[in-house]
Amino acid sequence: MPLILTEEQTLLQDAADGFLNERAPIAHLRQMRDSRDPDGVSRDLWRAFGEMGFSGVVIPEEDGGSGLGAVEAGVIAESLGRTLTPSPFMGSSVLAATVLKAAGSEAQKQWLGRIAAGEAILSLAVDEGPKHAPAKIAARAERSGNGFKLNGAKGFVLDGHVADALIVAARIQQEGADEGLTLFLIDPATPGVSVERTVMVDAHNAARVTLTDAQIDADAAIGVVGEGQGPLDAALTLGRACAASSLVGAGDQAFRLTLDYLKTRKQFGKLIGEFQALQHRAAHLFTELELAKAATLAALQAIDAGRPDAEQAAGIAKAKAGRVAELAVQEAVQMHGGVGMTDEFDVGLFMKRVRVLNELLGDAHFHAERLARAQGF
């Protein structure tokens, strides 16, 4: 399959870029940060996202969504990376929606329509330590009465402090035996559930969720008890590919800002873009960005095609996009000089966002190790 967007996908990209540049440019991020907004996200903007059809991009039409695919989700994620917009898109429209679409009951799937309309925010709670490690989930669920009792702690829960519902990954424990991983859809107001907001370095939001003997009903389980690994893997695969798209968007926008600066900044009586050393660095970065874009689009296409190597492709894209975006923001700051480190210029904001996106759902080292192990090393 050609590694280019179709005409319809290009139109979606133009619509997303236009909408975000008009309604949520980087000035929107600065305003949310400087005003210390208690939510850190705009519910009005999220509803507008729904009206545009963006928030329901991977949700089937019968559930109120747009019925599109992974490539379209990646297109929107890339646009969000360009404008640094704080949005529940990743947590709700990508991660939570994928889980509910894959394994949710009819009652649980009612949330899909609300996500698509921009009326609800859902968060997936997986990680528990400082690094992404979905294979080391320690949160446990014990059978209790007609339901389960949850105990554990989750970190890096995207927009968890404003979530209308949480999807929590926990291992079923019964008389000391591990019965497998299960995903639970729970109300954050449930007794025993504590949610603490964490404002990250990039002025986006996450939360720490603590579960202390939280009693939930049996129908809170998503899908078959003990068989939550499949839906979780599907969500993480799409999430990693979309995170790669956001990294590509952020890296590419930082590169564009740098090119503009090279064409206007004068030093020693000439434009700094005329210096061959800087031209070579810019050319190298351009080729790296194109490779990252290709790897990311290939992963998104693999997910849409249902290929068995889609999970591996998403990991490769996340690793490549992460390293290239890191290079892009480093070069951007260096080519801007000292002013690149000031808050007056936007390139510093892109550096902070890239650092957070790199950690989200596994950094380059995490995915390189997974790929090596899959190859038998």
Dump pLDDT digits (tens) for 125-155: 999 988 999 999 999 999 988 899 999 999 9
Residues 169 and 251 in one domain: no
Number of separate domains in the chain: 3
DSSP string, 88-124: TIIIIIIIIHHHHHHH--TTTTHHHHHHHTT---EEE
Element (H, E) at 172: strand 165-174
Residues 71 and 162 in one domain: no
Among candidate residues 226, 243, 269, the one where a domain is terminated: 226
Among candidate residues 64, 91, 120, the one where a domain is terminated: 120
95 in a structural domain: yes
Among candidate residues 120, 154, 189, the one where a domain is terminated: 120
State the pLDDT at residue 345.
83
DSSP string, 3-38: SS--HHHHHHHHHHHHHHHHHS-HHHHHHHHHTT-S
Highest mean predicted confidence (pLDDT) among 87-101, 133-147, 259-273, 360-374: 87-101
| Alpha carbons 61 and 377: distance in angstroms, whole number | 43
State the pLDDT at residue 176.
64
Residues 107 and 131 in one domain: no
| Alpha carbons 90 and 98: distance in angstroms, whole number | 11
Structural domain harbouring 104: 7-120
Q: Which two tokens stand for residue 194?
A: 């504590």
Q: Number of H helices and number of E strands within the chain? A: 11, 10
To 5 degrees, how large is the angle CA 157–CA 231–CA 62?
100
If you count them, how many residues does the chain have?
A: 377
**CATH number of the domain encompassing residue 110:** 1.10.540.10
Residues 259 and 169 in one domain: no
Residues 51 and 163 in one domain: no
| Alpha carbons 83 and 49: distance in angstroms, whole number | 14
Side chain identity, residue 20: L
Residues 143 and 175 in one domain: yes
151 in a structural domain: yes
Residues 235 and 214 in one domain: no
**CATH number of the domain encompassing residue 275:** 1.20.140.10
Dump pLDDT digits (tens) for 183-227: 999 999 999 999 999 889 888 999 999 999 999 999 999 999 989
Residues 174 and 48 in one domain: no
58 in a structural domain: yes
2 in a structural domain: no
Residues 248 and 333 in one domain: yes
Q: Which residues pair with 185 in a beta bridge?
A: 167
**CATH number of the domain encompassing residue 205:** 2.40.110.10
Angle between helices 229-262 and 347-359 (to 10 degrees): 160
CA-atom Rg of the chain in angstroms:
21
| Alpha carbons 145 and 306: distance in angstroms, whole number | 39
236 in a structural domain: yes
Residues 150 and 239 in one domain: no
314 in a structural domain: yes
Nearest alpha carbon to residue 91 among 81, 104, 105, 77: 77
pTM, to two decimals: 0.93
Contacts made by residues 31-39, CB under 8 angstroms, sequence distance 24+: 32/86, 32/203, 33/203, 39/161, 39/162, 39/205
Dump pLDDT digits (tens) for 230-254: 999 999 999 999 999 999 999 999 9
Residues 213 and 172 in one domain: yes
Average pLDDT in the chain: 92
Residues 255 and 342 in one domain: yes
1 in a structural domain: no
Dump pLDDT digits (tens) for 49-107: 999 999 999 999 999 999 999 999 999 999 999 999 999 999 999 999 999 999 999 99
